[in-house]
Amino acid sequence: MTAISKTPLSSRRRNETIMAWVFSSPALVLLTVFLLTPFLMAVALAFTDQRLIPNPNLPTQIIWLRNFVRMFQDEAFLRGILNNFYFVVVVVPIQTALALLLAILVNQKLKGMNVFRTIYFSPVVTTMVVVAIIWTFLYNPGEGLINKFIQTITFGMIGPQKWLQNTKLVFPAIMLLSIWQGVGFQMVIYLAGLQEIPTPLYEAAEVDGASKLQQFLYVTLPQLRNTTIFVVLATTILAFKLFTQVEVMTKGGPQNASMTTIVHVVHQGWGQLKVGYASAISLVFFLIVLGVSLLQRYFLREEKAVN
């Protein structure tokens, strides 16, 4: 009896396993073709002098670590790495804090809140190329609205700034654009987290005489800890991928002041046709981002465990 009852069960599990592999196979094929295969190719090409357009007179050679040695002597690459970390250190905390503030504001049970949610989220669904072009006009030193606004509120004491031509202003200008464009995404995530907080927790806090600030500090923030971990990790990864707005607005200039690693990779791989060198940069950058993400996740989890 036991053997008879086990046979249909094992057969059923086998069929479920087969069906699972059948339904997941399209995703696995796409991941292999468009993610795993290019990554393995980049690892292999990083140790060669491969060019985008092969030259029959200059066959591809294995040059081992020469690309990596050259990389750390490349001022544009070093500036790109520094700018990436600068962007992460500034944008991630500001964008996370603003997203939480906006989520709390639009979480109020008032009429018309859906309109404000749509307004705050609309930049996220707008193509970054379009956003970058619009902000390029806004930053225009002659007729840009940002300069006109600053001149108006300062009564002309602060003249028009060349936001995208000044080496000290160009990267903060791109940061401002990026925060404005991306904050709505984190806001929606925080909004979902806020709506999952049990109402009785706030009611109990009110009974204990807790103020709104105390409720925020001791109820809202602890309940949003997992949400914050996800938001910070996701924002950090997106920040390291900074490319479109820089390429559209400045192409890394002036004088590499707005250069980022991804922009440098594209310029080397497509502009200079140095696929091997671009692959080496991509590999190092991948390891840097992976390491930062793992460290960030570790410290955030450790903080959660301590609290």
Name the nearest CA neighbour of 142 among 166, 159, 167.
Answer: 159
For 260-298, b/e burial (b = at least 16 CB within 10 A) is bbbbbbbbbbeeeebbbbbbbbbbbbeeebeebeeebee
Model confidence at 304: pLDDT above 60? no
| 192, 106 contact by CB (below 8 A) | no
pLDDT for 1: 44
Q: Mean pLDDT lowest for which of 154-163, 188-197, 215-224?
A: 154-163
Give the bridge partners for 58, in sequence order.
55
Model confidence at 9: pLDDT above 80? no
* Mean pLDDT score across all residues of the chain: 88
Say how many CA atoms lie within 13 Å of 177 toward its Cβ.
30
List pLDDT tens digits, range 116-149.
888 888 898 899 999 999 999 999 887 788 988 8
Domain ranges of the chain: 75-306
CATH for the stretch 75-306: 1.10.3720.10
Report the predicted TM-score, pTM, of the whole model to 2 decimal places.
0.85
List pLDDT tens digits, range 134-190.
999 999 887 788 988 888 888 878 878 899 999 999 999 999 999 999 999 999 999
